[in-house]
Structure 1
Amino acid sequence: VYAASVLQWGVWALFLCPCHLTVSTPLDCRDDPGSLTRCPSISQEKLLDRVIHHAELIYRVSEELCSLFEELFIPFPLRLQSNQAGYACITKALPIPSSKSEIQEISDKWLLQSVLMLVQSWIEPLVYLQMTLDNYDHAPDMLLNKTKWVSEKLISLEQGVVALIKKMLDEELLTTVYSEPSVLQNDVQPEVLESVMKDYTLLSCFKKDAHKMETFLKLLKCRQTDKYNCA
C-alpha cells in the first residue's frame, strides 16, 4: 500500500510539475515599445491564438486541481453529495449565456465581454483560495503552487482579453466585476469540513467557468475563419 501511495504521488508530481506549464507565450507584450495592453506589433490573429492557448492551459490545470483536491480532502460520499447539491457558483448572477442557442446568437463583442467578466470575477476568489489553502495542515506544495500559477495566469489572460477587445472592437469595455461577499468574507471561521467543502465548490465552479472562457474564445476564433459553420 505504501509503495502504491508513493508511486501515486510520483505520478501527480510529474503531471503537475510547473516546468510543464512554462511554455505558454506571455500576453503582456513586454518586448513591445508601445502600450502593454494594446500590443500594436502583434496581429489580431496571433493575439487571439495566444489568448486561447492561455485559456486552454488554465482550464487543464483547473481540472488537475479539482481532481487532486478531491482525492486529498473530500471523502467519496461527500463527493456525491456535492454533485447532487447543486451549489450556486459565485458567477451565477452574471449575464453570461449558458445554453448552446444563446451562445450561438450573441455577438463577437458580447463573447469577449463575457470572457472578460468571467476572468475578472475570479481574480479575487482565487487569491482568497490561495490564502485558505496555506492554512491546510497537509496541503502538498504541488497543490499550492498550481493554485498560485492559475491565479497569476488568470491576470495574464485578463491583459490579453483587454488587448484583444481594443484590437478587434477599437473601444474600451467597462466591466463590472462581480464577487459573492459570503465567499470572500473571512471574519467568521467556519467548521473545518464546511471550509473544505466551500473551497471544493470554489474549485469546481472555477473549472466550469474556465471551460466557458475557453469555449467562448474558440467560438470567436471559428467565427473569424468560418462564420457560418461554427457549432
Structure 2
Amino acid sequence: MATCRAVPVNDLLDRASQRSDTLHSLSRLLTHTLDSHFPPIGRVIMPRPHMCHTSSLQTPNDKDQTLRVSESDLLSLARSLLQAWTDPLVLLSTAAGSLPHPAQSTISSKLQELQEHSRNLGDGLDILSSKLGPSAEFVSPPPFRGGNDLGQDRISRLVNFHFLLSCFRRDSHKIDSFLKVLRCRAAATRPEVC
C-alpha cells in the first residue's frame, strides 16, 4: 500500500483504466454467454435499465456531459458505482453455482474473476482518491435492496441474474469511461479525443 502511494497519479490512472477495461470486458463476455441460452420469454419479462439499483445515482449521460465533470467528481462517481456493486456481485457469484444454464461453470468462474478485479480496482481507486483530495474521497453508493434470492423457478432465476449482470455491464462501462477521461486529463491529452 505504501509503495502504491509513491506511484505517480498518471501511472495509477493507467493501471485503474486497464483494470476497469478488463472489468467491463468480463461483464460483456458474461452477458454474451448468458444470451447464448436465454429463453425468449426472458426478454419479454426482463426489467428495464431504469430499474437498476444504481439508476438513482446522478451520472453523466454521454461523453459531452462527462467532459464537463471535474476530476474529483468523476473519481467519486466511479468509486460510488463500484462500491454499489459489492453486495450484488456477491449475490451473482453465489447464485452462479446453481444457475440453470449450460455454461454455469464458466459463468461461475468468470464471476469470481470479476469480483477479484472489482476489489483490486476499488483498492486502486481508494489510493487515487487520497491523492486527489477530500472531494474525490466522497462516495455515495446507492443501497442494493435486491435481497439475497434471485427467484424460485428456473426462468425467474435466469431473468433476474441476467438483469443484474446487465446493470453491472452498464455501470462498468460508465466506470471505464470516467477513468479513461481522467487518464487523458492527467496525461494532458485532449479528453475529447480519448
- TM-score w.r.t. the length of structure 1 is 0.74
1:91 maps to 2:80? no
Helix, strand or coil at the partner of 2:61? coil
Of all paired residues, the percent bearing the same amino acid is 24
1:202 maps to 2:167? no
Asked if the contact 2:96/2:104 (under 8 Å) is kept, the reply is no
Tell me which residue corresponds to 1:112. Answer: 75
Tell me which residue corresponds to 1:59. Answer: 24
Helix, strand or coil at the partner of 1:176? coil
1:125 maps to 2:125? no
Tell me which residue corresponds to 2:117. Answer: 153
Question: How many pairs are equivalent?
Answer: 191
5+ unaligned residues in a row in structure 1: which ranges?
Answer: 1-28
Query: How far does residue 89 in structure 1 lie from its aligned partner after superposition?
Result: 1.2
Q: Whole-Å Cα distance in 1 between the matches of residues 133 and 189 of structure 2?
A: 17
Q: Whole-Å Cα distance in 2 between the matches of residues 179 and 135 of structure 1?
A: 25
Q: Deviations over 1:5-61 (max 9, x none)?
A: xxxxxxxxxxxxxxxxxxxxxxxx4xxxx27xxx22312111111100100101111
5+ unaligned residues in a row in structure 2: which ranges?
Answer: none
Query: How far does residue 193 in structure 1 lie from its aligned partner after superposition?
Result: 1.1
Q: Whole-Å Cα distance in 2 between the matches of residues 113 and 171 of structure 1?
A: 8
Q: Whole-Å Cα distance in 1 between the matches of residues 82 and 117 of structure 2?
A: 10
Query: How far does residue 128 in structure 1 lie from its aligned partner after superposition?
Result: 0.4
Query: How far does residue 159 in structure 1 lie from its aligned partner after superposition?
Result: 0.6
Larger Rg: 1
Helix, strand or coil at the partner of 2:119? helix
Q: Cα RMSD between the aligned structures?
A: 2.4
Helix, strand or coil at the partner of 1:132? helix
Helix, strand or coil at the partner of 2:32? helix
Q: Deviations over 1:158-197 (max 9, x none)?
A: 110111111233677232332231x2243x9543212210
Asked if the contact 2:16/2:121 (under 8 Å) is kept, the reply is yes
Asked if the contact 2:24/2:169 (under 8 Å) is kept, the reply is yes
Helix, strand or coil at the partner of 1:230? helix
* Shift in alpha-carbon separation, 1:82–1:50, aligned structure 2, 3 A: farther
- TM-score w.r.t. the length of structure 2 is 0.87
Say which of 122, 125, 140 aligns to 1:176.
140
Asked if the contact 1:44/1:167 (under 8 Å) is kept, the reply is yes
Q: Deviations over 1:59-98 (max 9, x none)?
A: 11111100111213x124533x367x62421100112222
* Shift in alpha-carbon separation, 1:134–1:169, aligned structure 2, 3 A: same
Asked if the contact 2:97/2:104 (under 8 Å) is kept, the reply is no
